[in-house]
């Protein structure tokens, strides 16, 4: 007997208001209630963060095996933007016993998704396809048992060992698949080499070439950053993240440790805030195990832990956390005796860290070694020893390497030249992850040029993209200006569209307040806010950004609208609203995540949304539309069994409000069926609903 656990039905932060901790508590209650089960099945998940909460709840409150399956779209992402690789890496790291895919699509459409997943996990693979998609008129699924079995048996070549069926499948579908699979040869999944990589939910960074770790989210030697920590100034921290990513950082180091603050609380807030504005993977940096575990717990993906060292206390306290949460780890080549002067001794510590990590079950590809950069002005021979140790770790142990490069030049004039030269030397000796300030143009240049010259940057594409619009040497006012990539954006030039595209909510509100001092409110709305939202919508439709980024852009717009409303009230002017819209999930249907996303976007476009919730009586929708005189009603349904209620609701609304238009959406709907039941518009996603609202309401 299996305990089946599905989605909660609410969006987790930052997409919604449910916290990770609240989600964990809900899942924990389910796990404890199902203690008599033989195993736990977590399925039909679209949000990796929610899946992590469920998996942790299962592992920490039960000793039962746990299967995790998520639901993907044809673009190899869930609708929240989670990649197949991110799901596989993260869930295996957290201790799932098997992973895979269920629901959403038929077996043929799921094949490339499972094929991709097989590249990123050593765990047993699970596949439970739908019987295709349903005919909205008849409600019947379109793939019959024989077709289903013929498609499912193809998964055997991928080594899939657990099979089932989801929506539309019957005992006949399962028996037909079973009969064919009994005769199939299923290869054993052995000696699978998973690439060295880390990830957020939406972005995977392969450590297959030098990658930049941005060093600026760290108080060491930074008065302004210390002040931000003391003042809980999250805007400053987020701005540091945005600037580094814009300048070329592939990952971000996050260290908030300083005397006089609650480091654990600040680390949790910082990790959550950084996850709300983008998908750049993080390196979590703390010397306190409790702080590290708190960060690992709320991180959405597979991070790097910075760091463990050769001291016994460090090995005992940190490595078990790395194993439990499935992270990669940086090992520092120091121990109880400090940092050895000689490369051979640092190499020996690196070997000891590797042995202890692998003994705990941490994969070798997840162990990175930092041979430590000493200050050349104090220990000039140290640079040579660091490079020798780095080279040996790379070539003899086969491990990825890390260095905090800027330490080399402390106390010297012209620090930039020294640091840049040492960086280049380290790259040539096998450095994979330089920790640098990418906002210093010459540092990012050195890494990009190395990638180009070593053949990592195929056809020089990334280098050309970064520097094609760079001013020429004669046009630049200074050498530094000539070296600065055009993509960088100085803080003083931040504008509202920039704040929106980077999810800087407080910054967007401040800029809006400043604009209203000289610009009419409706001009701000129509000339700045709406075009910026439209631009994000186009990027979403093109697959260049995903739901989290779209929602965060919209959330900045909402903060701007709130400033506009408050300002107009203070000036005794009418608050800005583009009009009222009624939304509801129809009677009998309790699925409302899609409808909730539509609500968020509409509100952030400036519409007032009357959200009636889910399982809404047909007459209530019609009465509300009439009472408020709305021009548009939006209806959602996920199940074919509730399409009758949708049709009845449409008829009642049309009778009560003949001039009101109706837009419908949901996984079981098509444009043809929407027209058949009397809807005026069909929207395949939230952005299409916004387009309808702009056409109908204005």
Q: Please spell the DSSP secondary structure of 162-201, one letter per residue.
A: EE---TT--HHHHHHHHHHHHHS------S--PPPEEEES
Nearest alpha-carbon partner for 688 in 634, 630, 646: 634
Q: What is the pLDDT of residues 453-489, one digit of tens each?
A: 999 999 999 999 999 877 654 343 333 333 343 344 4
- Calpha distance 165→152 (Å, rounded): 10
CA angle 216, 222, 224 (to 5 degrees): 100
- What are 585-634's pLDDT values in tens digits? 999 887 777 888 888 888 878 899 999 998 999 999 999 999 999 999 99
**pLDDT interval class at 493 (50, 70, 90):** low
CA–CA distance, 341 with 372 (Å, rounded to integer): 10
- Contacts of residue 257, defined as CB under 8 A and 6 or more positions apart, other chains included, come to 219, 263, 285, 286, 287, 288, 291
3-state SS, one letter per residue, for 200-246: ECCCEEECCCCCCEECCCCCCCCHHHHHHHHCCCHHHHHHHHHHHHH
Q: Please say if the pLDDT value at position 379 is more than 60.
A: yes
Among residues 498, 540, 549, the alpha carbon closest in space to that of 15 is found at: 549
Alpha carbons within 13 angstroms on the beta-carbon side of residue 528 total 24
Predicted pLDDT at 574? 62
Report which secondary-structure segment, H or E, holds 39. strand 39-45
Is residue 660 within 8 A of residue 625, CB to CB? The reply is: yes
Q: pLDDT, tens digit, for every residue of 151-209?
A: 999 999 999 999 999 999 999 999 999 999 998 888 888 889 999 999 999 999 999 99
Across residues 35-54, what is the average pLDDT? 97
As a whole number, mean pLDDT of residues 514-533 equals: 87
Strands 197-200 and 301-302: antiparallel
Least-confidence region, from 1-5, 375-379, 583-587, 623-627: 375-379
Between CA 326 and CA 330 the distance in angstroms is 13
Q: Which residue has the tokens 């009778």?
A: 655
Q: How confident is the model at residue 321 (pLDDT cuts 50, 70, 90)?
A: very high
Q: What is the mean pLDDT of residues 270-294?
A: 95
For strand 433-436 and strand 400-404, is the pairing parallel, antiparallel, or unpaired? Answer: parallel
Phi, psi of 424 (to 5 degrees): -65, -40
Question: Which pLDDT belongs to residue 487?
Answer: 40
Residue tagged 């008129």 (tokens): 137
* Residue 642: band (very low, low, confident or very high) from pLDDT cuts 50, 70, 90: confident
**Which phi and psi angles does 588 have, rounded to 5°?**
90, -10
Average pLDDT over residues 104-114: 94
Which of 99, 108, 206, 105 lies closest to 159 in space, CA to CA?
Answer: 99
* Count of C-beta atoms within a 10 Å radius of residue 324: 18
- Residues 9-37: tens digit of each pLDDT: 888 998 888 999 999 999 999 999 999 99
Query: How many Å apart are CA 152 and CA 144, to the nearest integer?
Result: 12
Query: What is the pLDDT of the chain when averaged over all its residues?
Result: 91
pLDDT score recorded for residue 479:
36
- d(CA 27, CA 94) in angstroms, rounded, equals 16
CB atoms within 10 A of CB 26: 16
Model pLDDT, residue 480: 38
Residues 342, 352 contacting (CB under 8 angstroms): no
Tens of pLDDT along 251-274?
999 999 999 999 999 999 999 999
Contact (Cβ atoms closer than 8 angstroms) between residue 541 and residue 490: no
pLDDT in tens, 130-159: 999 877 777 788 899 999 999 999 999 999
Query: Cα 391 to the chain's mean position, in Å?
Result: 34
Residue 434's H or E segment, with its range, is strand 433-436
**Mean predicted confidence (pLDDT) in 428-446:** 96
- The pair phi, psi for residue 387, each rounded to 5°, is -65, -35
Measured in residues, the chain has a length of 698
Task: For the chain, give the percent of residues with pLDDT over 70.
Answer: 96
Separation of alpha carbons 415 and 168, rounded Å: 66
- 225 HSE (CA, 13 A, CB side): 20
pLDDT at 573: 67
Neighbour tally for 473: CB within 10 Å: 10
**Nearest residue to 437 via CA among 212, 209, 219:** 212
Residues 6+ apart with CB under 8 A from 39: 2, 3, 64, 65, 66, 67
- Please report the pLDDT score of residue 544 as a whole number: 83
**Per-residue confidence (pLDDT) for residue 481, from 0 to 100:** 36
- Retrieve residue 313's tokens: 């206390």
Report the alpha-carbon distance of residue 646 to residue 627 in Å, rounded. Answer: 20
Q: Give the model's pLDDT for residue 173.
A: 96
- Of 148, 248, 200, nearest in space to 466 by CA: 248
Query: pLDDT by residue (tens digit) across 206-252?
Result: 999 999 999 999 998 899 999 999 999 998 999 999 999 999 999 99
DSSP readout, 300-321? -EE-EEEEEESSHHHHHHHHHH
**Residue closest to 686 by CA, chosen among 616, 592, 607, 602:** 602
The sign of the torsion formed by the CA atoms of 666, 672, 675, 676 equals negative
| Cα–Cα distance, 102 to 170 (Å, whole number) | 15
Note the pLDDT of residue 558: 84
């Amino acid at each position: 007997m299996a305990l089946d656990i599905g989605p909660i039905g609410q969006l987790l932060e930052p997409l919604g208001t449910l916290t990770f901790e609240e989600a964990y508590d809900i899942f924990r209650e389910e796990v404890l209630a199902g203690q008599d089960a033989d195993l736990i099945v977590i399925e039909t998940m679209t949000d990796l963060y929610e899946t992590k909460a469920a998996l942790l709840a299962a592992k920490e409150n039960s000793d039962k095996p746990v299967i995790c399956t998520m639901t993907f779209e044809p673009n190899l992402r869930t609708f929240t933007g989670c990649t197949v690789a991110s799901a596989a890496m993260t869930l295996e790291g957290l201790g799932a016993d098997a992973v895979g895919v269920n629901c959403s699509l038929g077996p043929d459409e799921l094949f490339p998704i499972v094929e991709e997943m097989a590249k990123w996990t050593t765990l047993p693979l699970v596949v439970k396809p739908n019987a295709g998609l349903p005919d909205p008129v008849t409600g019947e699924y379109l793939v019959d048992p024989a077709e289903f079995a013929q498609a499912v048996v193809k998964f055997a070549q991928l080594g899939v060992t657990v099979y089932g069926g989801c929506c539309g499948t019957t005992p006949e579908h399962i028996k037909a698949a079973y009969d064919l699979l009994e005769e199939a040869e299923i290869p054993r999944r052995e000696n699978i080499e998973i690439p060295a990589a880390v990830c957020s939910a939406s972005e995977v960074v392969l450590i297959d070439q030098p990658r930049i770790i941005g060093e600026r989210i760290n108080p060491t030697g930074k008065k302004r950053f210390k002040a931000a920590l003391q003042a809980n100034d999250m805007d400053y921290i987020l701005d540091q993240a945005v600037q580094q990513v814009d300048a070329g950082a592939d990952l971000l180091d996050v260290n908030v440790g300083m005397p006089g603050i609650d480091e654990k609380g600040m680390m949790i807030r910082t990790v959550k805030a950084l996850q709300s504005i983008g998908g750049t993977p993080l390196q979590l940096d703390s010397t306190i195990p409790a702080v590290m575990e708190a960060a690992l717990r709320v991180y959405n993906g597979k991070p790097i832990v910075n760091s463990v060292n050769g001291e016994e206390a460090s090995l005992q306290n940190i490595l078990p956390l790395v194993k439990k949460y499935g992270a990669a780890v940086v090992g520092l080549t120091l121990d109880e005796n400090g940092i050895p002067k000689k490369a051979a001794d640092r190499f020996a510590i690196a070997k000891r860290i590797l042995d202890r990590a692998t003994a705990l079950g941490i994969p070798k590809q997840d162990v990175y070694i930092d041979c430590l950069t000493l200050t050349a002005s104090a220990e000039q021979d140290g640079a040579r020893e660091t490079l020798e140790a780095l080279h040996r770790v790379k070539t003899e142990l086969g491990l990825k390497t890390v260095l905090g490069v800027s330490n080399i030049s402390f106390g010297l004039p012209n620090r930039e030249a020294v640091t840049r030269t040492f960086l280049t030397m380290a790259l040539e000796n096998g450095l994979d992850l330089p920790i640098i300030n990418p906002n210093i143009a010459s540092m990012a240049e050195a890494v990009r040029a190395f990638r180009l010259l070593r053949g990592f940057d195929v056809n020089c594409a990334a280098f050309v993209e970064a520097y094609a619009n760079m001013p020429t040497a004669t046009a630049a006012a200074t050498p530094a200006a000539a070296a600065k990539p055009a993509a960088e954006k100085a803080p003083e030039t931040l504008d509202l569209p920039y704040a929106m595209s980077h999810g800087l909510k407080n910054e967007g509100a401040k800029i809006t307040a400043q604009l209203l001092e000289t610009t009419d409110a409706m001009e701000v709305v129509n000339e700045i806010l709406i075009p910026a939202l439209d631009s994000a919508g186009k990027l979403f439709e093109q697959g260049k950004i995903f739901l989290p980024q779209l929602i965060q852009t919209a959330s900045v717009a909402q903060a701007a609208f709130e400033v506009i409303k408050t300002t107009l009230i203070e000036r005794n002017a009418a608050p800005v609203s583009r009009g009222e819209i009624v939304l509801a999930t129809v009677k009998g249907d309790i699925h409302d995540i899609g409808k909730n996303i539509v609500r968020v976007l509409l509100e952030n476009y400036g519409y007032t949304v009357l959200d009636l919730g889910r399982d809404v009586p047909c007459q209530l929708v019609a009465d509300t539309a009439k009472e408020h005189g709305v021009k548009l009603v939006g209806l959602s349904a996920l199940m074919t069994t509730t399409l009758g209620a949708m049709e009845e609701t449409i008829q009642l609304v049309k009778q009560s409000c003949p001039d009101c238009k109706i837009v419908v959406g949901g996984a079981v709907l098509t444009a043809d069926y929407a027209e058949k039941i009397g809807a005026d518009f069909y929207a395949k996603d939230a952005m299409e609903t916004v387009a309808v609202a702009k056409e109908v309401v204005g």
